[in-house]
A and B are shown apart, each in its own frame.
Chain A
């Protein structure tokens, strides 16, 4: 399979995302002004500071030409993973529910976090055991997931909460400790922690690879 990793001005984690994806399939960088997704089977919107986080995180990147193609790709069931700033962009684009607000403590937080897999109904978690734990780094200032209570109830009832922070492993203030959510179809996943930084035991954990392996199962 082939992954496409989108690069916006200000993106900084695209190389790790490409290297992580390349452990599972082919992976190439997609420039944000290019509407052509080059026949990729899955799209990763990586972390960083697209457009300098101006106005609101993710608010400007969603108007980049590539995002029209990504939205059309997702609407047809194509798997899309938004990591950190990518999660923020997908929320701003209306491709995922909710929004990301500044961490409760207003600080940049960087640490290894433990996530619990809540649902394996998404393309990106189907290879994970429900209840299993993933050790993955997180690093962000604007990671407080928020959605109104009615939306949260629906997300939980429908199995669209994919990942949760275990205990208080990350004090960003996310409602109901939500770390990752999917769209209704389960092909689009957004999460704040960085699976692409956890693909080799040499750097502490290879748990992040499970998300990339999951999507390989999904497109097989």
Chain B
């Protein structure tokens, strides 16, 4: 099964990448953009998608600093 894991910085932790993008967009003329966060995307084929959460906890994300979201309905 094809799966996608979205990993993003936890709310409340300073996200300088998001801030940089948020400042860059208006400089290019794109107004009205706020709350930008930059994360990571992992796509993978898995035989047993029920194990994806374990994979996230142990390797794909660091739960102390990142939230993850597993998407299997692609």
Contact = CB atoms under 8 A, between A and B. Distances in A.
A92 B14 contact: no
Interface residues of B, number: 10
A149 B65 CA distance: 13
B70 interface: no
A106 B62 contact: no
A146 B65 contact: yes
A59 B65 contact: no
Given A98-B64, A146-B65, A59 B59 contact: yes
B16 interface: yes
B60 interface: yes
29 contacts: A55-B60, A56-B62, A59-B59, A59-B62, A63-B59, A92-B62, A98-B64, A99-B62, A99-B64, A99-B65, A101-B13, A101-B14, A101-B65, A102-B16, A102-B17, A103-B16, A104-B14, A104-B16, A105-B16, A106-B16, A106-B17, A106-B20, A144-B14, A146-B13, A146-B64, A146-B65, A147-B64, A173-B14, A173-B16
